[in-house]
Amino acid sequence: MIATASPVTDLADRIRAGSHVSLARGLTLVESRSGVATELLAEIWKDSGRAHVVGVTGPAGSGKSTLVTQMGHEYVERGAKVAILAVDPSSAYSGGAILGDRIRMTELAGRENVFIRSMASRGATGGLSRAVLDGIVLLDAAGYDVVILETVGVGQSEVDVISVAHSVLVVSVPGLGDDIQAIKAGLIEIADIHVVNKADRPGADLTVKQLRESIRLAHRQGGDWNVPILKTTAATGDGVAELLDETAKHRGWMTEHGALREVERRNAATRIRWAAEAIIAERLRPGHRDFDVAVDALIARDEEPRQAAARLLTAMAVNPTRINGRRPL
Amino acid sequence: MIATASPVTDLADRIRAGSHVSLARGLTLVESRSGVATELLAEIWKDSGRAHVVGVTGPAGSGKSTLVTQMGHEYVERGAKVAILAVDPSSAYSGGAILGDRIRMTELAGRENVFIRSMASRGATGGLSRAVLDGIVLLDAAGYDVVILETVGVGQSEVDVISVAHSVLVVSVPGLGDDIQAIKAGLIEIADIHVVNKADRPGADLTVKQLRESIRLAHRQGGDWNVPILKTTAATGDGVAELLDETAKHRGWMTEHGALREVERRNAATRIRWAAEAIIAERLRPGHRDFDVAVDALIARDEEPRQAAARLLTAMAVNPTRINGRRPL
């Protein structure tokens, strides 16, 4: 029971070894944005970078949760380890309620090689995006081959969150004509695969047709990937296998055309900026000698704010060990 | 008509020389947070630091605008140059409407040595606080002896904005018992002077008594300044001269007890942090060679995000001229 390594290293080891309890603890640290989370991420970063991150989004009532559950089962059948991160940016407004519709997931959650977690916004949307991005690193390093990122609702926050995924699946449903309009507003541009769920309902073919037209009109970025429109009936599992095939195909295309690397570059850029902001926030505050000196120089009008900031960044660089210094758990 | 200096230097010169048009232009730049604003502030910073910043806040209906107008007249009578910055953090919700009750100010605005400006939030409250802090620098450098910072409403945003002032005046009014409760929520702690306006109304003495009790119960920071409660009737001007006397007295006390310097230190710290964040945002983005190299190192798992960020801050420091580089207007 005597710790031979640091607590953070221990936690990282246990996450790598597949402990669900440690992984859950790590995700809680990431959500709370504690300093320990930064250390944990630094420790575990080199073990990440293998998982396929699949985003699933769409309006309420489209049956996303059921679809994601079925996808989870199918991935397990195919021998993959699968993690589901259900993100609810709006729960800050609804009072932090956990996602409904979780009951169906209980069975899936009980299976081996499955990990399910809800993540809610505890403040700014930016904070949630960061927690999601960090959470993916932990799940990835824990050996999950696929991380399904499910968002609830359709809005800018959802677009921000989902855009960290390698493959974005947008779910529509027949008979919600106006919702397809809503989707046009922002999701057509980011969809890699369209799913018309509840395809046993009347109007499924019309929805497919409307989506095809929307895709044609949209100026989609991302090269010559031919965005497919798939029909599924999540309740019965119909079309889910084909959806997984198509998702795998998309990943292959992404890798081949350098598009996967582009997503990774974008995510890496975001991570570096956030890390830099964290360093700044940590070092540029009263009580740090260099900072206090700069404050005095500013008041004396010996320097202007931008000059002082530039000088402080220099001073920080002279002391890189202090920047990388570890704190105890 | 041939410019001999840079456009930013020209603008700074004209602001220093007292041009209302140039000052208004500078404030618009500051509000829009353009890169030019940063250059302008760097140019003009050394000329600031003399103005007495007086914050005036309190609930709607307390007659703040009328009071501020009367204070403006009185300051001018005493030979001071006075600027009024009316801040409306809530106008982001009401659709950017300019403050009502501005009609009374028109007469004041017409006087020499007076400058009046409204500032509304165009996004995050943080953005407004920054615009206010930067705006004060411009008004200060333009030679205004007093900058009155008037906020509308009572909330955390108002507290954030008003806390940059040297002297904070909190306005109450008789007969709004519940509003005094609201004031207790956050303004008692930051008030340097209490004003019971509309003191010709019944209940003024009760309001004074309630305030006195609130002050007694509050754990006020800021040493042994004895927070006075003044009665005014802004509509007639009664009590306004005494209010100015008390405000001057507070400034004297602040200077004597090092409290003015404390406010300046706090504001300077905020300015340095914002400047550092701006430098980071400017340099840590795709297209900058060092940044692109760091992104690649991150993806290759040669570095983790915090390491990469620390190294980038070092690289920035090696190139300080690039940090301080001026851009053309």
**For testing contact with chain A, the best of B34, B282, B298, B322 (most A CBs within 10 A):** B298
Confidence at residue B90, expressed as pLDDT on a 0 to 100 scale: 55
pLDDT digits (tens, 9 = 90+) for B195-231: 999 999 999 999 999 888 888 877 666 568 999 999 9
Question: Quick check: is B4 in a domain?
Answer: no
Co-location of B182 and B286 in the same domain: no
Same domain, A155 and A227: yes
Q: Do A299 and B264 touch (CB under 8 A)?
A: yes
Domain closes at, from A237, A257, A277:
A257
**Does residue A211 form part of some domain?**
yes
Tokens representing residue B57 in the block? 């806040």
| CB-based contact, B200 to chain A, within 8 Å | no
Inspect the interface and report whether the beta carbons of B317 and A318 lie closer than 8 Å.
yes
Q: What average pLDDT does range B3-19 have in this prediction?
A: 88
The 10 Å Cβ neighbour count of residue A318 is 10
Chain-chain contact of A280 with B272 (C-beta, under 8 angstroms): no
10 Å CB burial of residue A225 (0-12, 13-18, 19+) is middle
B183 and B66 housed in the same domain: yes
Looking at residue B310, what is its pLDDT? 85
Asked if B162 and B168 touch (Cβ cutoff 8 Å), the reply is: yes
Q: pLDDT truncated to tens, each residue of chain A (329 aa)?
A: 555 678 999 999 999 999 999 999 999 999 887 778 889 999 999 999 999 999 998 887 788 889 999 999 999 999 999 999 988 755 433 333 344 455 667 778 888 899 999 887 555 445 678 889 999 999 999 999 999 999 876 677 777 788 899 999 999 989 876 556 556 557 788 899 999 999 999 999 999 998 888 888 776 665 689 999 999 999 999 999 999 999 999 999 999 999 999 999 999 999 998 888 888 888 888 998 889 999 999 999 999 998 899 888 877 765 544 444 443 33
Q: Is A279 on the interface with B (CB under 8 A)?
A: yes
Same domain, yes or no: A304 and A240: no
pLDDT over 70 (residue B323): no
ipTM: 0.81
Same domain, A148 and A218: yes
Q: Is A314 on the interface with B (CB under 8 A)?
A: yes
Q: Which one of B130, B304, B324 makes the best mutation probe of the A interface by having the most chain A beta carbons within 10 Å?
A: B304
Contact B96, B120 (CB under 8 A): yes
What confidence score (pLDDT) does residue B94 get?
A: 36
H helices present in chain A, as ranges? 7-16, 20-32, 35-44, 64-77, 91-94, 103-109, 125-141, 156-162, 177-184, 204-217, 240-256, 259-283, 289-299, 305-318, 320-324
> Dihedral (C-alpha) A201, A240, A247, A135: value to the nearest 10 degrees?
100
Domain co-membership, A104 together with A252: yes
- The predicted pLDDT at position A18 comes to 93
Q: Which residues contact residue A75 at a Cβ distance below 8 angstroms, ignoring those fewer than 6 apart?
A: A82, A145, A146, A244
Residue B114 in this model has a pLDDT that exceeds 50: yes
Contacts of A265 in chain B (CB under 8 A): 286, 295-296, 299
Candidates A286, A287, A293; CA nearest to A314 is A293
Q: How far is A271 from chain B (nearest CA, A)?
A: 6
**Interface membership of B274 toward A (CB under 8 Å):** yes
Whether A252 and A272 share a structural domain: no
CB contact under 8 A, A307 and B277: no
The pLDDT of residue B100: 43
- Cβ-Cβ pairs closer than 8 A, A with B, add up to 164
Do A316 and B313 make contact, defined as CB atoms within 8 angstroms?
yes
Q: For residue B324, is pLDDT > 50?
A: no
Chain A partners of B41 at a C-beta cutoff of 8 Å?
304-306
Q: Is A120 on the interface with B (CB under 8 A)?
A: no
pLDDT of amino acid A58: 84
Q: Which residues contact A152 (CB under 8 A, 6 or more apart)?
A: A60, A64, A86, A87, A88, A89, A90, A99, A158
- Domain around A75: 49-257
Residues of A in contact with B264 (CB under 8 A): 299
What does the alpha-carbon distance between residue B250 and residue B255 come to, in Å, rounded to a whole number? 9
Q: Do B305 and A275 touch (CB under 8 A)?
A: yes
Residue at B116 is within a domain: yes
B192 and B312 together in one domain: no
- φ/ψ of residue B231, rounded to 5: -105, 130
For residue A65, tell me if it sits in a domain. yes
Residue B22 CA to residue B12 CA, distance in Å, equals 8
Contact A265 B49 (CB under 8 A): no
Same domain, B64 and B185: yes
The mean pLDDT of B247-262, rounded to a whole number, is 95
Residue of A283, A124, A254 whose CA lies nearest to A193: A254
List, in sequence order, every residue forming a beta bridge with B150; answer none if it has no partner: B56, B86
Q: How confident is the model at residue B154 (pLDDT cuts 50, 70, 90)?
A: low
Judge if B307 and B236 occupy the same domain: no
User: Is the pLDDT assigned to residue B142 strictly greater than 70?
Assistant: yes
Pair (B96, B124) in one structural domain: yes
Longest dimension (CA), chain A: 74
Taking only Cα atoms into account, the Rg of chain A, rounded to an integer number of angstroms, comes to: 22
Q: Do A320 and B310 touch (CB under 8 A)?
A: yes
- Judged by CB atoms within 8 Å, which residues 219-238 of B form the interface with A? none
Burial class (CB in 10 A: 0-12, 13-18, 19+), B236: exposed
A274 touches chain B (CB under 8 A): yes
**CB-closest option in A285, A295, A312 to B268:** A295
Q: For tokens 């824990």, what's the residue? A: A142
Cβ-proximal residues to A158 (8 Å cutoff; 6+ apart), any chain: A57, A89, A151, A152
- Give the residue with greater pLDDT, A268 vs B31: A268
Of B269, B275, B295, the CB nearest to A295: B269
Q: Does A54 fall in a domain?
A: yes
Residues of B in contact with A314 (CB under 8 A): 317, 320
B272 and A305 in contact by Cβ < 8 A? yes
Residue B28 corresponds to which tokens in the numbers above? Answer: 């618009």
> From A292, which residue of chain B is nearest by alpha-carbon distance?
B269
> Chain B 288-307, CB below 8 Å of chain A: which residues?
291, 294-296, 298-299, 301, 304-307
Cβ–Cβ under 8 Å, residues A65 and A130? no
Q: How distant, in Å, are the alpha carbons of A36, A141, A275, A329, B329 from that of A9? A: 11, 13, 20, 10, 51
Say whether residue A45 is in contact with chain B using an 8 A CB cutoff: yes
Q: Are B119 and B32 in contact (CB under 8 A)?
A: no
The answer to whether B315 and B293 have CB atoms below 8 angstroms apart is: no
The minimum CA-CA distance between B228 and chain A, rounded to whole Å, is 29
- B275 in the same domain as B194: no
Q: What is the dihedral of CA B23, B28, B32, B36, to 10 degrees?
A: -40
| pLDDT attached to residue A183 | 62
Query: Is residue A39 in a domain?
Result: no
Q: Chain A contact for B123, CB < 8 A?
A: no
Domain count across chain A: 2
Which CATH number characterizes residue B222's domain? 3.40.50.300
A8 occurs within a structural domain: no
Reported as a single tens digit per residue, the pLDDT across B285-311 is 889 888 999 999 999 999 999 889 988
Considering CB atoms only, which of A277, A278, A294 is closest to B272? A294
Backbone angles phi, psi at A83, to 5 degrees: -115, 140
B36 inside domain: no
CA distances from A265 to A30, A262, B285, B313 (A): 21, 5, 11, 19
User: Per the CB < 8 Å rule, is A45 touching B310?
Assistant: no
Nearest to A272 among B48, B276, B294 (CB): B294
Q: Can you tell me the distance from the alpha carbon of A294 to that of A281, in angstroms, rounded to the nearest whole number?
A: 15
Question: How high is the pLDDT of residue A93?
Answer: 36
Min Cα–Cα distance to chain A from B182, Å: 23
Q: With CB atoms and an 8 Å threshold, state whether B281 touches A273.
A: yes
Q: Do A42 and B279 touch (CB under 8 A)?
A: no
C-alpha–C-alpha distance, residues A112 and A110, integer Å = 7
DSSP reduced 3-state for B115? strand
